[in-house]
Structure 1
Amino acid sequence: MEANNWLEKITAPFKTLTNTTFAKLYFAQIASLFGDAFTWLGLALLSYEISPKNAAAILASALTLRVTAYIIFSPFAGVVSEKFQRKQILLITQIARMAIVCVLPFVNAEWQLYALIFVLNVFAAFFTPTYRAIIPQIVEKETYREANGLSMATFQLLSVFGPALAGVVALWLGSTQIFFVNGATLFIAILVILSIPKTALQKGVSSYNVVPQKTWDEVLKGIRLLFTNKILRFALSIEFISAIAGAIVLVNTVGLVKTNLQLDDKHFGWIMSIFGVGAAITAFLLGSLDKSQTRRISLISGAMLIGIAISFANFVPYNGLMFLWVLAGIGQTLADMPSETLIGENIEPQDQGKVYGAHFAFSHLWWAIAYPIAGFQGTQFPDRVFLDGGLLTLFLAIITIFIFQNKTKV
């Protein structure tokens, strides 16, 4: 009986696919994310082709522009998703992205690359908050966590295995031609979105929102709702702490593996895959197992777990590091994922779009702040970067918990 209960919990996220509208959106997301893996691998290779000596700087600049586009435009995306047909938003953004990635193989100058990457992610900044705002409206309230968990787990898994497959395809097609693979996957996503009735995607959009209002006022309202809600403010604070720890992992693991442990690229690939798999499995299970009315335990334990895990990274062999990175991946998902469900559960349907947009912007702003911190620590204190980063994470987590104690019931 107990085994059957566990099996039911594990398979629960897939039951959300019986909802036809969600299933189509989910498969459109898979196609889009799968193609994105090809684009970002192709971007690294294209950066090297443009300037082998400055490839790292070009890639870093392109990724910075990516985050900048998210920060600037995603709050407006939330407002737009409440004022226009969501099906049109999804289609226009996907068509534009498909066109842009198919132009990337013909780039031969840095400025061209920067311009295209920025515009590409402007459209991504409008697509993602709209997609996230649709999910709580099209699935039953009782299954929203499972649907969100399945969506987040898919994102994590494709971020791990997508680049690996892209690398294999790049050997076959060539470094620049793989951009056309993303174009093809986006075309598939467009066809799937076209098959969804537009009325199904408009659920939860109040007629109040179509009345002309000042866009900037609506953007500020989304930000205000995000930060004045104590539950969401606590979750967002934990996300900032998780971003600092996560940035230290992403920026400094390569140096730890290749310099400190004297290992090769294969070992670096495995260790980052382990980190991603830990995050993906947790995202998949969390939606099924978290049936209580509180996510406070998830948020707090996630921040503490990733902080503790990375604190020991400078002092263990490779096998020990693999174990720690599984824990770190689990911790990051526990700290990040509840925000998605909390918005769906604590914000009125007519305001969810603008709040999802504001959240998407600020969650990327946290990473924009965290990356320089991780880079500075890794450059100045390479032998103790993970210890210092872990202690900083734990210190901030304790301060945050103290500030919000007894003020939130998440």
Structure 2
Amino acid sequence: MTFQLSPLLQCLRNRAFARLYAAQAINLIGDAFTWLGLGLLAFELAGENSGLWLSTALTLRVVIFVLLAPMAGVLADRLDRKGLMVTTHLVRMVLVSLFPFVSNGWQLYWLVALLSGCHALFTPTYTATLPLITTAEECPQAIALSNATYQLLSVLGPALAGSVAALFSTCSVFFLDALTFLVAAVLIAGLPTALIVSREGSVPPRRGLLEELSVGSQCLWWDAAMRYGLLLQLVAAIAGAEILVNTVGYVQGTLQAGSQAYGSIMAALGVGATLAAVIWGSSCHRMSAVAVMGLGGILTVLPLLAAYGANVPSLALLWAIAGIGKTLVNVPMQTVVAERVAVDLQGRVYGAQFAWSHLWWVLAYPLAGWFGSQFPAQHFFYAGLSSMVLFIAFVVLTQPWHLRHLPAGFWHSHPHDHSSEHDHCHRLQGLVGEHQHLHFHCRQATAIR
């Protein structure tokens, strides 16, 4: 009897991906140790003001993501990605080893800023590398498995880090954290070849820095399918921020249910997100990415509309559904980018997508706080209503039922002079002679999935 791997796990037969995936999983455990250790350290240094310290650190983290991720995409398309990922892990290893010696707030903020910069460099580079080392059949599975692992470790990682802190000390958390980044760096360094985007026969692009940084966003907003996914990520961010910001007050305040119930409810959110990633990875070849993103948007919004007056079991079920919806928006979006962007541009597009998705959260967090303060008894309903209005507006504007008839192909850019062998339309008129030009090329296929 032959052993058959689950469809989601078949991509692990690719040894390069299996090694990179193991490094990512260990990296995610390290992230969990970092943020639990930061919380403990902030409490040791600031006491009751630790919440202010952590909120400032989290805000700083997201702002750096937005600012640096596009640059990360440029570097990922220009440098050896293996060397870039190894370097970010080694730098993070050194930085987290310094946390036990922090004695005031500004030192903590500097370390958080540098760590966030490394994270902003690593994550888009890792995502853009998946299509580079996997086949077209393996890539959606690799993306889904990576996301499922991220969601699962977001639930299990803090519990593991908390157990270490309870048995040993805060310093032990940071030193073990440093070890995880070292192991991840060694795994990536052991990849058999350099991870450099091939540009055989191409001329180095003649672009300024600002133009290089804007290429990823241009692809995202010019392509109808990617634009639709990016707008749905805004809807998911508003709904997700409402859940993260206001659930604790509802559970421990309105329901008087305590911290254990709150932990169970938030774990349900992670379990739902993990389950959706597994389902998508196992059946992505039979499903339309555009249709699944729309379904995800609906499943993200509806639980908020139904959450008013929910008890603990009902809220856990609703948040599990919301977690499913969040994943069904985010993971197919990454698959669409892999399918519709040339390999030598994917670093910049994934970097831009990482930046835009975190910008949505920068906008969504204060909005969730406003809902909680203005509608203390019905904030879930009004946040859900606002998200639903946005969802309907985006559907009307983008008309996703037409997106399945878009031509298959990919966005790419190269020096070009309008020869007959390479003719296409310009978005910007008036360009003559040889120039760098971003455009879409059709390939032999009927439509996008």
TM-score by length of 1: 0.95
Aligned to 1:254: 248
Q: Determine which of 192, 198, 206 is the counterpart of 1:197.
A: 192
2:18 maps to 1:27: no
Matched letter for residue 19 of structure 2? K
Please state whether the residue corresponding to 2:376 is helix, strand or coil: coil
Equivalenced residue count is: 403
CA distance in 1 between counterparts of 2:275 and 2:176 reads 27
The answer to whether the 8 Å contact 2:70/2:213 transfers is yes
Indicate the RMSD between aligned Cα atoms, in angstroms.
1.7
Q: Deviations over 1:13-47 (max 9, x none)?
A: 21111101100100000111011101101111111
Gap change, CA 1:408 and 1:277, over 3 Å in 2: same
The answer to whether the 8 Å contact 1:38/1:182 transfers is yes
Which deviates the most, 114-123 or 287-296? Answer: 287-296
2:4 maps to 1:15: no
Deviation at 1:210, TM superposition (A): 5.4
2:370 maps to 1:376: yes
State how 1:104-119 maps to structure 2 within 5 Å. 104-119=99-114
Matched letter for residue 62 of structure 1? A
- Over the matched positions of the two proteins, sequence identity in percent amounts to 38
Deviation at 1:349, TM superposition (A): 1.1
Aligned to 1:127: 122
Deviation at 1:211, TM superposition (A): 5.4
Q: Deviations over 1:252-303 (max 9, x none)?
A: 1111110011011111111100110110111111022122462222111111
Deviation at 1:204, TM superposition (A): 4.8
Q: Determine which of 43, 66, 75 is the counterpart of 2:70.
A: 75
CA distance in 2 between counterparts of 1:232 and 1:166 reads 37
State how 1:8-407 maps to structure 2 within 5 Å. 11-199=6-194, 201-202=195-196, 204=198, 208=202, 213-292=207-286, 294-405=288-399, 406-407=401-402
The answer to whether the 8 Å contact 2:79/2:196 transfers is no
Deviation at 1:53, TM superposition (A): 2.3
Gap change, CA 1:297 and 1:170, over 3 Å in 2: same
Which deviates the most, 190-199 or 120-129? Answer: 190-199
Please state whether the residue corresponding to 1:176 is helix, strand or coil: helix
The answer to whether the 8 Å contact 2:33/2:173 transfers is yes
Matched letter for residue 174 of structure 2? F
The answer to whether the 8 Å contact 1:76/1:215 transfers is no
The answer to whether the 8 Å contact 1:136/1:144 transfers is yes
Deviation at 1:197, TM superposition (A): 2.4
Deviation at 1:193, TM superposition (A): 1.0
CA distance in 2 between counterparts of 1:231 and 1:158 reads 30
Q: Return the index of the structure with the highest Cα Rg.
A: 2
Which deviates the most, 167-176 or 61-70? Answer: 167-176
Please state whether the residue corresponding to 1:197 is helix, strand or coil: coil
Greater relative contact order (Cα 8 A, min sep 6): structure 1 or 2?
1
Deviation at 1:215, TM superposition (A): 2.6
Matched letter for residue 358 of structure 2? H
Matched letter for residue 34 of structure 1? I
The answer to whether the 8 Å contact 1:69/1:122 transfers is yes
The answer to whether the 8 Å contact 2:289/2:333 transfers is no
Structure 1: segments with no counterpart, 5+ residues: none
Matched letter for residue 189 of structure 1? A
Please state whether the residue corresponding to 2:303 is helix, strand or coil: helix
The answer to whether the 8 Å contact 1:156/1:280 transfers is yes
The answer to whether the 8 Å contact 1:137/1:204 transfers is no
The answer to whether the 8 Å contact 1:39/1:182 transfers is yes
Please state whether the residue corresponding to 2:170 is helix, strand or coil: coil
Please state whether the residue corresponding to 2:403 is helix, strand or coil: coil
Matched letter for residue 378 of structure 2? R
Deviation at 1:119, TM superposition (A): 0.8
Matched letter for residue 162 of structure 2? G
Structure 2: segments with no counterpart, 5+ residues: 405-447
More helix by share: 1
Matched letter for residue 296 of structure 1? V
Matched letter for residue 138 of structure 1? I
Gap change, CA 1:206 and 1:164, over 3 Å in 2: farther
TM-score by length of 2: 0.87
Deviation at 1:137, TM superposition (A): 1.2
Q: Deviations over 1:108-153 (max 9, x none)?
A: 1001001110111111111111111110111110121111110000
Gap change, CA 1:211 and 1:394, over 3 Å in 2: closer
Matched letter for residue 67 of structure 1? V
Matched letter for residue 80 of structure 1? L
Gap change, CA 1:266 and 1:207, over 3 Å in 2: farther
